[in-house]
């Protein structure tokens, strides 16, 4: 479970300070499909970075399974980021000179890849419908296909949490819905907690957790 307790974040750019988060509380229980929604600049990416330990709050805490990320040692934070969290980005972040399979294996390449892991990468690519694209490079793939490679990459380490920042932001709406279909299927199959930032509220369903932001603060849910 992830809990945010009075999270604030002030970004400093030279002399100017931007209060990106102004005391935000929420919790995301395990196996949730959670959305962070809100207008541009409302603090959505800032939250995702804090949840993934890519950045530190100015005050407040992110608590994962009962332990505050700020109480982790450097190596524990590293291990959390590397093993527990799978990131998916708007612009896919694939390496242009690598095949789809090798892009999925990227997090493991420095340590060497046993055959069993390579087979698992292939299985994951099949599960997102890319069985005929295994040796294609990113420039030979459509945007939707590239994002499916990125989903497979995020899942290979069997993370507890998938954190996705506007994963369909660069895709047309039909392809975006398709990507969400894969995310939801993998969420159902594996029980991975998914936290996804989006502009598109039409993707939210009744059973999802919704964190609504405006100007760095929570907005009450319309239904409550
Ligand atoms: N690294 C940064 N330095 C300075 N200001 C930042 C930085 N990152 C974000 N901000 C500012 O913080 C606010 C929230 O940003 P962000 O979390 O990216 O919002 P969103 O993802 O909802 O569009 C914005 O006003 C943005 O300009
Ligand atoms: Mg953003």
Nearest bound ligand to the CA of residue 44: 1
**With b meaning 16 or more CB within 10 Å and e meaning fewer, what string describes 194-212?**
bbbbbeeeebbeeeebbbb
Q: How far is the CA of 46 from the centre of ligand 1 (A)?
A: 6
Strand partners, 2: 28, 64
pLDDT at 224: 46
CA–CA distance, 8 with 10 (Å, rounded to integer): 7
Q: Is 103 exposed, middle or buried (0-12, 13-18, 19+ CB in 10 A)?
A: buried
Q: Which CATH architecture has domain 2-218?
A: 3-Layer(aba) Sandwich (3.40)
Task: Kindly state if the Cβ of 20 falls inside 6 Å of ligand 1.
Answer: yes
Q: Is 16 exposed, middle or buried (0-12, 13-18, 19+ CB in 10 A)?
A: exposed
CA-proximal residue: ligand 1, atom 1 (nearest):
11
Average confidence (pLDDT) per 10 residues, the chain, 224 residues: 98 93 97 95 96 96 96 95 94 96 94 94 96 98 97 94 95 93 92 92 91 94 54
pLDDT at 165: 97
pLDDT at 111: 85
Q: What angle do CA 48, 67, 90 make, to 5 degrees?
A: 15
pLDDT at 221: 65
Q: From the CB of residue 99, how many other CB atoms can be counted at a distance below 10 Å?
A: 17
Task: Kindly state if the Cβ of 198 falls inside 6 Å of ligand 1.
Answer: no
Task: Kindly state if the Cβ of 13 falls inside 6 Å of ligand 1.
Answer: yes
> Domain limits of the chain?
2-218
Task: Kindly state if the Cβ of 46 falls inside 6 Å of ligand 1.
Answer: yes
pLDDT at 213: 95
């Amino acid at each position: 479970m992830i809990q945010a307790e009075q999270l604030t974040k002030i970004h400093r750019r030279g002399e100017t300070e931007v209060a990106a988060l102004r005391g935000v509380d929420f919790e995301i229980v395990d196996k949730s499909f959670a959305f962070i929604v809100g207008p541009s600049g409302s603090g959505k990416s800032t939250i995702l970075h804090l949840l993934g330990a890519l950045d530190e709050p100015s005050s407040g805490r992110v608590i994962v399974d009962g332990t505050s990320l700020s109480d982790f040692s450097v190596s524990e934070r590293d291990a959390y980021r590397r093993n527990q969290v799978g990131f998916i980005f708007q612009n896919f972040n694939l390496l242009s000179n690598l095949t789809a399979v090798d892009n999925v294996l990227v997090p493991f390449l420095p340590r060497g890849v046993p055959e069993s892991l390579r087979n698992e990468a292939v299985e994951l690519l099949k599960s997102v419908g890319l069985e005929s694209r295994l040796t294609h490079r990113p420039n030979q793939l459509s945007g939707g296909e590239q994002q499916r490679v990125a989903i497979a990459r995020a899942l290979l380490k069997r993370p507890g949490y998938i954190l996705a920042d506007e994963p369909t932001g660069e895709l047309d709406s039909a392809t975006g819905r398709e990507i969400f279909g894969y995310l939801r299927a993998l969420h159902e199959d594996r029980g991975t907690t998914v936290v996804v930032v989006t502009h598109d509220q039409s993707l939210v369903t009744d059973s999802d957790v919704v964190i609504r932001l405006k100007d760095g603060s929570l907005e009450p849910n319309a239904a409550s």
